Amino acid sequence: MKKIILLTFLLFSFCGIAQDLNMENGTFIQCTGNFYDSGGEFGNYDNDENYVTTICPENADQFMIVDFTSFSTQLNLDYLVIYDGDDTSAPVIGTYSGVVNPGEIVADTAINPGGCLTFEFVTNGSGVTTGFAADIYCVVPCQTITPFLVSTVPAPNGSGVIGINPGDTIEFTGDATFSDYGGDGAVYNWNFGNGSIASGQTVTNTFPTPGTYSVTLTVEDGNPLGCDGQAIVTTVFVLGDNIVVEEDTFTVQELVEDVLINNDCAQISNITSSTGTDFGQTPNGIGYFFGNGVSFPFKDGIILSTGDAEFGEGPNTGTSSGASWDGDPDLDIISGENTNDATLIEFDFVPLADFISFNFIMASEEYNGGSFECNYSDTFAFLLTDEAGVTTNLAVLPGTTTPIAVTNIHQANSSCPAINEEYFGGYTPDNAPPIKFDGRTIVFAAESAVNAGESYHIKLVIADARDHSWDSAVFLEAGSFDLGGELGDDITIAAGTALCSGEIITLDTGASLADHVWYKDGVEIPGEVTSVLEVTETGEYTMELTFGGDCSATDSIYIEFKPSPIVEEIENLAVCSTESVLEWDLTQNTGLVIGTQDPTLFNVTYHLTEQDALDNTNEIVTPETFSNTSNPQTVWVRIEEMTGECYATAPFDLFISPDPTPITPTALEVCDDDGDGFSTFDLTLKDTEITGGVAGWLVSYHETYANAENDVDEVTSPYANISPNDQTIFARVQVDGAECYAIVELLLVVNPLPEVTPISNYELCDYRFPGDMIEEFDLSTKDIEILNGQTGITISYHTLQEDADTGINAISGLYTNTSDTQTIFVRLEDDITSCFITTTFDIVVNPLPVVIIPTALEVCYDISDDITDFTLSDKTSEILGGQTNINVSFHETQLDAEDNLSPLAEPYNIPTNTATVFVRLEDLTTGCYNTTTLDLVINDLPVITAPTPLEACDDDNDGFTSFDLTLKDTEVLNGQAGISVSYHETESDASTGVNALTSPYNNIVPNTQDVFVRLENDVTGCHDTVALMLIVNSLPSIPTITAYELCDYNLPGDEMESFDLTTKDAEVLNGQAGLTVSYHETMADAELGLNAIVGPYVNALSNPQPIYVNVTNVNS
């Protein structure tokens, strides 16, 4: 017999957190910890093992790395197979045995998207060793890291490079974009190209040695795979006096688009070039140059050379010569000579404006100061071709069509005279900076009118003429190729381009087809939307332009204006004399004219006419000894800055005057605003009165005669007097510019204001048209109160404070208010001094008390004394209707009510059933009153008669029982309608109508009790009461009755006989009198006294048969 055992293996997946994993069968999801053979960290594995362990990452976007830190098995006996997947069917990464360490094993996500690694460990039975250990971790694939330069200090130039002097330090700030999981923990490493490195997002580096350095930024994220990105983020040029030339910093396309033009809206295409490297020659005639902008006019740009462009670097240590490649056919035609070694760049472009220009310098080894520059000249041209195929050379002498050449721009030398010397920029001495070429021109501007929006082609080309020797070059200034949409260089005083303040600088982008927005100092200038902006103020001006929504550009320019000189101060010159002609020193005004301005920056001259001063002609040559030709005479001064471009002019007069004879003025009077005897005076009001209107007399005021004589301590307006009420001061009158003077007194007087006291309000009641709160006020009735005994004062009333202040629009006659409370402004004016003061009071219209016609006051007829009293005040609350502070009184007549006479006393009675009284409501605060009426009515009482007693039987003979009181309603009403009946235990309750009794009512006094009936008129409430006697009657007493027995004689056996029930009466009554007895077959009939048995009775119902007896008191 066979026993078959089925072994089923279950595959479990385990997920652990930072746990160590030993080799065993299973799949484990784990991203940290250590992986060991089955012996663990400190033991050996066993013989005859065969384990498969799979390790998978925790997240779908991860993959596994297992990094072996040690490995030792029996060589070729015990081995570890590693699979790139989640089981042993996956591709094999490797089989390892012995001491060869597998190292770092990384899952290949290209073939293993799950990222798992599978390990199969098989051992034999012959022995063991230490096994293996590895680190476990999960990673995600490397993201794309793109480093970039955020900023530098100093900032790059327009071409994106940085130029500094040796020893300068640059601060670099970098960043990077991270494509997937961000840059937390990223490391930023810098290589500055000069052997220096640094780490951090913001770093600094000092460059001690001149040269060109590429700065590289490498950014690593925290991925264990060591993911990084690297980029050359900028180029640093460390400069001296020599320019630096680089042939590899920019491509030709970059030189055109980013260096020469650098305009985001420029449409550039079809860029081509040619130089020696295109003909198998080593020299590259195209390069990027960078200088300090001092020793060489351009800071940076493009160099086109007939030799090696780098040979253009200074100093001038030798001769650039000797390259050999083809020339250019266009230059052959222009020069009329064969050309060689041509270097060119050409491209198509579309101008944004109707004018283009760019700046250039030509340099050459043929500038030798001798015969070469007389007879030899390499040639270059800037050939602009329009859509019609018309070509124009822009490299020409200004204002001509003559091509620029060495032979037509140079100084005089031993071989030939100078020609166009003003365009020659100078020679470069041997071993001197900034360039290697022996000489150069000044800066030229190649320019041409164009049609904005049309396509043009330009060819920039230079070549050796007739030979391959003595190279020449053209330097093109970076950013100067202006296609429009640019504002040019800053206009500053330092640059010598600033205009005088007050002049206009016109900015024109030339891009008339674009939409413009202009800003000054960052703030938009409203309404400026064209290509032209006129500028008159210093500031930074920025334009933003948009071409059809497809492209936008911006540019800024800083504009300064030279401060035009001003005439800070100038004085007329005067002399007291009887002579008509005198000698004058006009320069007395020079210091005043310059004032606080720097005298070293300005020149001052004097002229006889304004036009001469404006034109700076006919200057008075000896202003220190000028003789007047008239009296008075006007002289013009001109102050100008040293260039003569900015100036200002002003006149002053020369006076010859006799001694002044001033007029003693009348007193200067003011009003005392605060009543203390002091005020302020405008002394200048007396100037004309004192001088009599004589021109050239100056008036000053002094507190003492001595001060006036010595012309010291002048007091100025407004002047506050120092002596109360009145004070004398002294006026000194002096001829303007002269020493002659005279003194007169001036009396200052402070006049008091009228006096004011608090004014009570003027109040009226709203009687005229009650409810409109408008009344007529006779304001003059307030005069006496306001004057308070003062005389010589005029009072006026006004509705506005400003009218009261100016004394206009006074109220006349009766005044009708415009609001229930209105302020009136009062002006009190002194009839003599005209000093006035204002005050206010309110006119008030007080409302009348609100009248409510009350309901009639009704009372019930007092039958007791035939006099019925009214308490009139019972209606006060209804009449007031919630009003407070109102007194209410009652009167017999309307006139009494209006005059508040004979108020009625309480109680008040009337001789008839109805009457009317008159009510006065008076406001206790304002005294305003109103009236109404009150009707008085006497109502009759209900007629009530004494009812007969209400009797009931005493069911239990205790003297108490229940009564249906309503049984008496009909009797007490006696036919009256509209009357309510109620019953009460006490007469008091019946009188007040409270505690009404309900039926059935149980008496509370045994046997006999009085209750009280109330009859009340349903309309008037008038009532009357009467007593009702309640009587409790005792029940008859019934003894125990013996059975009434007969023998069955009549028809024996039928058990029925005839009974005479009355024979039982005596037994039932038991001696009681006044009672009746009746007999009944049923208890119900007995209780109700119905169906009494009459005569003999035969028991027909049963034997024996009960008979029910009713005993009734016939009196109750």
CATH number of the domain that 191 lies in? 2.60.40.10
Amino acid residing at 645: E
User: Whole-angstrom Cα distance, residue 898 to residue 876?
Assistant: 18
Over 70: is that where the pLDDT of 864 sits?
A: no
- Top mean pLDDT of 23-37, 218-232, 462-476, 1040-1054 is at 23-37
Q: Say yes or no: 776 and 918 in one domain.
A: no
Under DSSP, is residue 572 helix (H, G, I), strand (E, B) or coil? Answer: coil
What is the spatial distance between Cα 1075 and Cα 700, in angstroms, rounded to a whole number?
A: 145
Q: Is it the case that residue 1116 has pLDDT exceeding 80?
A: no
1001/1105 same-domain check: no
- Residue 4's pLDDT is 24
pLDDT tens-digit profile of 866-916?
678 889 999 999 999 999 999 999 999 999 999 999 999 999 988 878 899
Confidence of residue 821 (pLDDT cuts 50, 70, 90): very high
Query: Over the stretch 547-586, which tens digit does the pLDDT of each residue have?
Result: 766 677 788 999 999 888 999 999 988 888 888 899 999 9
Check pLDDT > 70 for residue 865: no
pLDDT one-digit tens code per residue, 136-184: 999 988 889 999 999 999 888 777 788 888 888 999 999 999 988 888 8
User: What pLDDT, on the 0 to 100 scale, is given for residue 205?
Assistant: 94
Q: Where does the pLDDT of residue 3 fall: very low under 50, low under 70, confident under 90, or very high at 90 and above?
A: very low
What are the tens digits of pLDDT across the range 51-101?
A: 999 999 999 889 999 999 999 999 999 999 999 999 999 999 999 999 999
Q: Are residues 453 and 304 in the same domain?
A: yes
Same domain for 306 and 343, yes or no, is: yes
Of the pLDDT bands very low, low, confident and very high (cuts 50, 70, 90), residue 322 is low
> Is residue 281 situated within a structural domain?
yes
pLDDT tops 60 at residue 334: yes
The answer to whether residue 9 scores a pLDDT higher than 50 is: no
SS (H, E, C) 989-1043: HHHHCCCCCCCCEECCCCCEEEEEEEEEECCCCCEEEEEEEEEEEECCCCCCCCC
Cβ–Cβ < 8 Å for 211, 229: no
The pLDDT value given to residue 113: 93
104 lies in the same domain as 195: no
Confidence band (pLDDT; 50, 70, 90) for 355?
confident
Q: Are residues 294 and 412 in the same domain?
A: yes
993: which residues sit within 8 A by CB, 6+ positions away?
Answer: 982, 1014, 1016, 1023
**Are 213 and 266 spatial neighbours (Cβ–Cβ below 8 Å)?**
no
Residue 1086 confidence (pLDDT) above 90: no
Q: What is the mean pLDDT of residues 122-132?
A: 93
Instruction: State whether the Cα torsion 127-133-137-143 is positive or negative.
Output: negative
Calpha distance 242→856 (Å, rounded): 122
pLDDT score of 13 more than 90: no
Domain closes at, from 442, 477, 512: 477
Task: Output the CA torsion sign for 612, 615, 618, 620.
Answer: positive
| Domains held by the chain: number | 10
Residue 744 lies in a domain: yes
Same domain flag for 19 and 46: yes
Gap between the Cα atoms of 439 and 428, Å rounded: 5
User: Is 81 in contact with 73 (CB distance < 8 Å)?
Assistant: no
Q: Name the band, by pLDDT with cuts 50, 70 and 90, for residue 8.
A: very low
Residue 458 is assigned to a structural domain of this protein: yes
Beta bridge partners, 627, equal 583
- pLDDT > 50? residue 7: no
Q: Specify burial of residue 1115 (Cβ count, 10 A radius: 0-12, 13-18, 19+).
A: exposed
pLDDT of residue 235: 82
Mean predicted confidence (pLDDT) in 508-533? 90
**1045 belongs to a structural domain:** no
Give the model's pLDDT for residue 159.
Answer: 72
Q: What is the pLDDT of residues 1052-1067, one digit of tens each?
A: 988 898 899 899 888 8
Residue 529 structural domain = 499-562
Q: pLDDT-derived band of residue 830, with 50, 70 and 90 as boundaries? A: very high
Residue 896 inside a domain? The answer is yes
Q: Residues 522, 419: one domain? A: no
Average pLDDT value for residue range 1006-1017: 93
H/E run at residue 372: helix 372-375
Q: Which neighbouring-strand residues pair with 213?
A: 236
Kindly provide the residue ranges of all beta strands, DSSP E only, lying in 659-739, ordered along the sequence: 668-671, 680-681, 697-702, 719-720, 726-735
**Does 291 share its domain with 386?**
yes
Considering only CA atoms, which of 156, 347, 362, 357 is closest in space to residue 249? 156
Evaluate the CA torsion angle 256, 258, 263, 267 in order and state its sign: positive
* Rg for the chain, CA atoms, rounded: 66
CB within 8 Å of 437: residues ≥ 6 apart: 312, 316, 320, 363, 364, 365, 367, 428, 471, 472, 473
Same-domain status, 797 and 745: no
Q: Is residue 852 part of a domain?
A: no
The region, left, alpha or beta by phi > 0 then psi within -120 to 50, assigned to residue 807 is left
Q: What is the pLDDT of residues 182-230, one digit of tens each?
A: 888 899 999 998 999 999 999 999 998 888 888 999 999 888 787 888 8
Is there a domain that residue 567 lies in? Answer: no
Judge whether 1107 and 1081 are in contact, CB under 8 Å: yes
* Residue 44 pLDDT greater than 90, yes or no: yes
Asked if residue 957 has pLDDT above 90, the reply is no
Paired residues of 1016 in beta bridges: 980, 1023
Confidence at residue 866, expressed as pLDDT on a 0 to 100 scale: 65
CA-CA distance, 531 to 1042, in Å (whole number)?
Answer: 146
Would you give the DSSP letter of residue 765?
E
pLDDT value of position 22: 95
Structure tokens at 90: 């996956």
* 568: in domain: no
User: Of 1002, 1034, 1066, which one is at a domain's C-terminal end?
Assistant: 1034
Same-domain status, 297 and 413:
yes
Average pLDDT of the chain?
90
**What band does 414 get if pLDDT is binned at 50, 70 and 90?**
confident
Please choose, from the candidates 304, 262, 306, the residue with its C-alpha nearest in 3D space to the C-alpha of residue 287: 304
Please give the pLDDT value at position 550: 67
pLDDT tier for residue 5 given thresholds of 50, 70 and 90: very low
Among 846, 872, 906, identify where a domain stops. 846
How far apart are alpha carbons 1091 and 1108 in whole angstroms? 11
pLDDT in tens, 591-646: 999 999 999 889 999 999 999 999 999 999 999 999 999 998 999 999 998 878 89
Q: Are residues 246 and 318 in the same domain?
A: yes
Distance CA(408)–CA(402), nearest Å, equals 9
